[in-house]
Amino acid sequence: MSTTPEPGTLAPATIAVAAGRPARAQGGHVNPSVPMNSTYVSRGVVTPDELSYARGDNDAWHPFEEALAALEDGGAGTARRADGDASGPDAAATAILFSSGMAAIAAIFSLVPDGGTLVLPRHAYQAGMVLARQISERHGVTLRYVDIADTDAVVAALDGADLLLVESPTNPMLEVADLPAVLGAARAAGVRSVVDNTFATPLGQRPLVHGADVVLHSVTKYLAGHSDVVLGALVTRDAALAATLRDHRTLHGAIAGPFEAWLALRGLRTLALRFERAQATAAELARRLADHPEVAEVRHPSLPGDPGHERAKAQMTGFGAIIGVRPRPRPGGADDAAARADAVVDAVRLWLPATSLGGVESMLERRRRWGTEATTVPEDLLRLSVGIEDVEDLWADLDRALRA
């Protein structure tokens, strides 16, 4: 039995450290162990909360799930409502750990019935969009793409829909949705809503507080934070929905390994420090890039002129650590925009050319090098994931690469 502080009694940075610990006992463990079991002692009729086989439930997952649920809960929920109802806006949050972010996305898309309608951002995680297109082809699901920052367009697209998927900020364009407005409209229309909170993390925003039915994470990114595990997670306050998502995980075998779950929890302990440093560095780099002679465009919500600045300022507690940069074409140069961006990637020495994000190391890539990326993403857009290195070292490397 682990111990998780009551939601709302501690700051998020403290919850990240304190939640999901073993029960306190003289001589007891400070950290949860790594239980290496494929099965458990079990006889008779199996009860829903009994550990019997590790694919259905696994005590290796519980500490991380408890900690993430406490972080996303945001203090708005209580342990249980007085009437005993375990669902709704006053219920405690439940987190469900998956083998990858894509496994979590697949579980979400399974909620859309055959012939149903899915509303999703025109810019979002490209592998998820590929899966959406496959589901559309195989199961007759209608896909309605929207500019997630255009609230009127999102609300209009909800008519007759079954599920709304929101990314905010979006990957890789950093568009910011009006979460209270679009999630409120979805609830009023009877449309289930899911918010991918990978970029913002629970320290940047808590979509459940704004009315989301489910929060989605690629745990691989900021939550684990060290580019050493591949995991995903879903968080909800709806007990029946949580049971459905757990069933999907069990029947599709989308389960996390014990050691990966343990690594993710260890990474979560330093999330507040890592994310605070990365956000501050990203804001400073974005400010300098906006004045750089070799930069044509910079996207980061911290910039006063960024289209998402005011909205992010109103509903987020930070601006995140992802930057979008488009290098300025060289006058009279023969290289096209993509080649110019690729040249910057080739020239860096400290920044890592890599496709992931959210790790302690700073990474960058040209997003359109992926053939499945949305065609509305500029060919020369560089996505920068800012890590925790010294800001001056990161700037010197980036400035040199842009001028090379």
| Crossing angle between the packed helical segments 239-252 and 101-109, to the nearest 10 degrees | 120
Contacts of 302 (CB under 8 A, 6+ apart): 282, 283, 286, 287, 309, 312, 319
Q: Single out the residue of 276, 315, 65 nearest to residue 166, CA to CA.
A: 315
| Cα pseudo-dihedral 88, 197, 218, 74, rounded to 10 | -50
Q: What angle do CA 225, 214, 105 make, to 5 degrees?
A: 65
Q: Using an 8 Å Cβ cutoff, are 349 and 397 in contact?
A: yes
Token code pair at residue 334: 């023969």
Q: How many CA atoms lie within 13 A of 64 on its CB side?
A: 31
Alpha helices in 74-225 (DSSP H): 101-109, 126-139, 151-157, 179-189, 201-204
Q: Which residues are catalytic?
A: 55, 125, 196, 221
Pick from 62, 92, 47: nearest CA to 74: 92
Beta-bridge partner residues of 167: 196
Cα–Cα distance, 334 to 381 (Å, whole number): 18
Q: For residues 212 and 97, give the distance between their C-alpha atoms in angstroms, rounded to a whole number.
A: 18
CB atoms within 10 A of CB 260: 24
Beta-ladder partners of 215: 195, 235
For residue 273, give both structure tokens. 């420090």
User: Can you tell me the distance from the alpha carbon of 231 to that of 300, in angstroms, rounded to the nearest whole number?
Assistant: 26
Taking the C-alpha atoms of residue 153 and residue 302, their distance in angstroms, rounded to an integer, is 25
359 contacts 387 by C-beta, under 8 angstroms = yes
CA distance 351 to 129: 27
The two structure tokens encoding residue 103: 């496994």
